[in-house]
Structure 1
Amino acid sequence: MINKIGKITLYVNNQEEAKEFWTKKLNFLVKFEQNMGPNMKWVEVGPSESEFTTFVLYDKNLMKNQNKDANVLHPSVILSTSDINSTYSELKGNHVEVGEIMKMPYGSMFSFKDQDGNEYLVREDKY
């Protein structure tokens, strides 16, 4: 099942400016940073090395190009599990509306909707 609140995606106008804000003004650490292809970078910041939950600083325009219906006006919540297949089966068995499991370079994940149609992601993480 879901073990942790893993990541909260903040949609930003400029990743470098956002990274500077969180690291220089709030003293967060860059916990993960990786180029994900041309013009795309995955950046995660957190308050300490031991804190599991991070903010993902994601470019608004890239998200809109990837999904024109994405709501980039508010943060996106990514929940964490250590077993994506078991969690997927459990939620589906509980009659939760789930999307397909996506295999991404940075991990496997799937979306689900709550009773009001709000969408969340579940990602497999190793802790």
Structure 2
Amino acid sequence: MINKIGKITIYVNDQEEAKKFWTEKVGFVVKFEQEMAPGMKWLEVGPSEEEFTTFVLYNKEAMKAQNPSVSVGHPSILLSTTDVEKAYEEMKENGVEVGKLMAMPYGKMFSFNDQDGNNYLLREDK
């Protein structure tokens, strides 16, 4: 029935600022970008060209105008890496606001915030 997670929408205040955060600080690539209407754009980013799952960076105000009943609150998102310590150091060097690197019985992880203050968790999966 369902065989993949395709897209996760993150509602952002400024799409260009969000694009810069995800591409310049976190190392993602722009997978798709297209104007939908004047002042509206569809923008997807992902970890690589090969990765199927993407984040859709969608403007909060545009969504509120299209459908006022939609919650533009942030989903809980866990991202994966095979080298959490390297990712932690690289994100710190890139100016990302990161939490403490934690070692739990089930793996190492840390939280970080994007340009709008949304919180994510990066976990090591080997």
TM-score, with structure 1 as normaliser: 0.58
TM-score, with structure 2 as normaliser: 0.58
Gaps of at least 5 residues in structure 2 are 78-126
Q: How many residues align?
A: 77
Cα 1:17–1:56 shift into 2, 3 Å? same
Which residue of structure 2 aligns with residue 11 of structure 1? 11
Aligned to 1:3, the other structure's residue is in SS state coil
User: What is the percentage of aligned positions where both structures have the same residue?
Assistant: 71
Gaps of at least 5 residues in structure 1 are 78-127
Contact 1:11–1:75 (Cα < 8 Å) also in 2: no
Q: RMSD over aligned Cα, in angstroms? A: 1.6
How far residue 75 of structure 1 moved from its aligned partner, in angstroms, is 3.4
Q: Where do residues 30-45 of structure 1 align in structure 2 (5 Å cutoff)?
A: 30-45=30-45
CA distance in 2, matches of 1:66, 1:73: 16
CA distance in 2, matches of 1:61, 1:15: 11
Q: Please identify runs of 4+ aligned residues in structure 1 that moved more than 2 A.
A: none
If asked which structure has higher relative contact order (CA below 8 Å, sep 6+), I would say 1
Cα 1:76–1:6 shift into 2, 3 Å? farther
How far residue 38 of structure 1 moved from its aligned partner, in angstroms, is 1.2
Alignment of 1:59 with 2:59, yes or no, is: yes
